[in-house]
Amino acid sequence: MGRHKVTVVGAGNVGATTAQRIAEAGLADVILIDIVEGLPQGKALDLAEAAPVVGHDARITGTNDYADTAGSDIVVVTSGLARQPGMSRDDLLARNAGIVRSVVEQAVAQSPGAILIIVTNPLDAMCHVALEASGFPRERVLGMAGVLDSARFRSFIAEELGVSVEDTHAFVLGGHGDTMVPLPRYSTVAGVPITELMSAERVAALCERTANGGAEVVALLKTGSAYYAPAASTFEMVDAILRDRKRVLPCAVLLKGEFRTSDLFVGVPAVLGARGLERVLEIDLRPEEQAAFDHSAAAVRELVGKLAEL
């Protein structure tokens, strides 16, 4: 049956690094596509020339033509403007909505059976654009945000407590942005909730740092935004789907009543396998947690409302 095929749209830092991880894991052949002529071809050539050293035989193709993406199993959308210092994710709304709509229409025309993973910000709103542009069922339109947010939370927990990141688990719900909802009582070190291991003040500080994780990197870099952790997080979703692993990963999915929310993309724990979203892992939230989740969902709904006005 040959190798899987993954298209990564956008050959910037996030896209190229995602392509690198997929290829170097030998997971799939990768098509890197961008509107800029030469950029995806150059990065693909550079990555291909690293293959003998790294030791993989995945093919990496750079192109400006969607015909080359035909028959992709997964299409990862990273194209759009990155955040600059002082910009909110929402400032990107109008500019990136047009880009994502165009990209998704062209990609799904070539790969009608693909699963879409959206990475472009503002993430939750862009998932709505992709759902509408593709006409796909909700199982095949996923947003990458929660894996990144929980990875940030996990790294901060490990640093705070002086433990391996591998023994940390973090639970993050809600929209990708300032209103995200880290859940400390479900965030653990070797199964022990972090609420048992540090003061309420430290827990609150780590939750806040997690919510502002992207802005913290943007402020340091000054030009561009995070890409190593976003690419690694996107790879984890691609891996779960192509290997049908049934991983439980926090992803933006279209809710249909789960967590008391309907017709909105919000981050929740999702079981990912060969069909994309296999199911949402729903848990009972305490009243204050549900209130925080509802507040986050309302912020997403407001953005989606602005989309309708564009």
Q: Which sequence positions are flagged as catalytic?
A: 176
- Closest-CA residue to 122 (of 260, 272, 302, 275): 302
Sign of the alpha-carbon dihedral angle for 135, 138, 140, 146: positive
Contact 34, 40 (CB under 8 A): yes
Gap between the terminal Cα atoms of the chain:
43
Contact 106, 133 (CB under 8 A): no
- The helix, strand and coil proportions of the chain, stated in percent and rounded to the nearest 5, come to 50, 20, 30
Q: Residue 261: helix, strand or coil by DSSP?
A: coil
Residues present in the chain in total: 310
Tell me phi and psi for residue 62, to 5 degrees: -105, 140
CA gap 232, 280 in Å, rounded: 22
CA gap 13, 234 in Å, rounded: 13
- Closest-CA residue to 143 (of 100, 88, 182): 100
Tell me phi and psi for residue 96, to 5 degrees: -80, -25
Angstrom distances, CA of residue 250 to CA of 78, 96, 270: 18, 23, 6
